[in-house]
Amino acid sequence: MNTIMDAIGIEIIEVTKEKVIATMPVHGPTRQPYGLLHGGASVVLAETVASVGSMNLVDAETEAAVGLEINANHIRSVRDGNVTAVGKPLHIGRTTHIWEVKITDEATGKLVCVSRCTIAVIQK
C-alpha cells in the first residue's frame, strides 16, 4: 500500500482486542540528525498501534478509527536495532477510544517512550 508504515518499516506483529504489538527499525528514515530515534517516528508508531487496535474493535463496514489527540514522553534514546510498541486500550467508548502505548528497545527491554492516544470513531 504506499503508506507511512511502509516508508519507515512498521510491522504489525499481533492484534487482539486486548493489545496490539508492532515493531519498527531504528534506521535512516526513523533517525533524527544526531543519529537517534526521532521522537516523531515514535509518535507515528504509537498512533499506528492505537489506530490499528481501534479498527479491530469497530464495524469496518460503517466506521473508521482516526487519531484525535496524542501525547508522548520520550524517556530514553536508541541509535540502532528495533523498537517494539505494545498498545493496550484504557477506554473503549462508542465514539472515542483511548490507548496507552509503551515503546521499548528490543535489545535492552528498556522503556523508550510512553504515549497516550485518543482515537475518534467516525462514520464512513
Q: What whole-number distance in Å separates Cα of residue 15 and Cα of residue 107?
A: 23
Picking from 115, 3, 110, 107, the residue whose alpha carbon sits closest to that of residue 50 is 115
Q: What whole-number distance in Å separates Cα of residue 102 and Cα of residue 110?
A: 10
- How far is residue 62 CA from its own chain's centroid? 23
User: 14 an active-site residue?
Assistant: no
Cα separation values, 87 from 52, 62, 72, 84, 113, Å:
10, 24, 13, 10, 12
Residue 10: how many other CB atoms lie within 10 Å: 21
Catalytic residue among 11, 14, 18, 47: 47
Active-site positions read: 47
